[in-house]
Amino acid sequence: MNNSTNDNSSTNGSGVSGYESLDGKVVLVTGAGGGIGRSIAERFSSVGAKLVINDVSADSVDDVVQSIGAAGGTAMGAVADVSSSEAVGVMIDAVMAEHGRIDVVVNNAGLVSPMLHFFEADEAWWRRIIDVNLTGHFIVSHPAARIMAKQGGGVIINMSSGGATRAHRAFTAYDATKGGIEALTRAMALDLGPYNIRVNALMPGSIDTSGLGLDDRKLRGENVPLGRIGEPIDMTGAALFLASDDASYITGDVIRIDGGMLAQQRSATVDIKPPSDFPSVEDL
């Protein structure tokens, strides 16, 4: 566990303000070593929240913690695999020892690769993606929700995908987890509502988390109604909203941040593995 604290300011230099209800709240973001998770963590820090940065990569965790601290925020690191109950238990204990509460959980950790056609897949591949993407949401949320219930309430934000309701080629396990996450979100919202715990999900569209080249960005963005591929920062406003008092009567819902992708009849350019790359019958 690594800590970095700077009390000079409740902003990170981005100029973002507002969301006073999140000032001082303890926010755990899983998979926050890069991409969407990192952007969400940095945006929460910009409004004065105290961040817990989780990832399986210690180097990535350290980098984000130091970056938030240098920008005037407060963050602690928590290296853990969210599919491990033991590792998550150690992480939750460390957060409670440091802060004594957990106000918001953003279940962002997830695996996309390896991308395999259904015939190329095996049980080990299936189980690993299910364990991290879907079971990980439960493993993190279960102890956190108990803490929230005892302190009078909290917010859990899960991470879905367009694959929850539309399919990608060669993403069988991934899409199955995302459909499960939306069902899990609704079920959790019903069970946890009486304890003043709100549970919602974000549904990213085509978000560039890996630094695509200009040609790939143009290809991915040309069929998106807003005319461009998404950036991790595009996910952060909805996350802040759902965690804030402005969303105090919203639970069990999914917010799409996809540039209009699912509003149209034609498909956006998101499939990476075309049928021409599928296994031949002779190879089965």
Kindly list the domain boundaries of the chain, sorted by start residue. 20-283
The whole-number pLDDT of residue 1 equals 57
Contact at 8 Å (CB) between 105 and 28? Answer: yes
Token pair in block for residue 186: 């609704």
The whole-number pLDDT of residue 152 equals 97
Can you tell me the distance from the alpha carbon of 237 to that of 250, in angstroms, rounded to the nearest whole number?
15
Catalytic residues, which ones? 174
The whole-number pLDDT of residue 6 equals 46
User: Mean pLDDT, 10 residues at a time, over the chain (284 residues)?
Assistant: 47 52 97 98 97 98 98 98 98 98 98 91 96 98 98 97 85 94 98 98 92 90 91 97 97 96 78 76 80
Q: Which CATH architecture has domain 20-283?
A: 3-Layer(aba) Sandwich (3.40)
Whether the model pTM is above 0.85:
yes
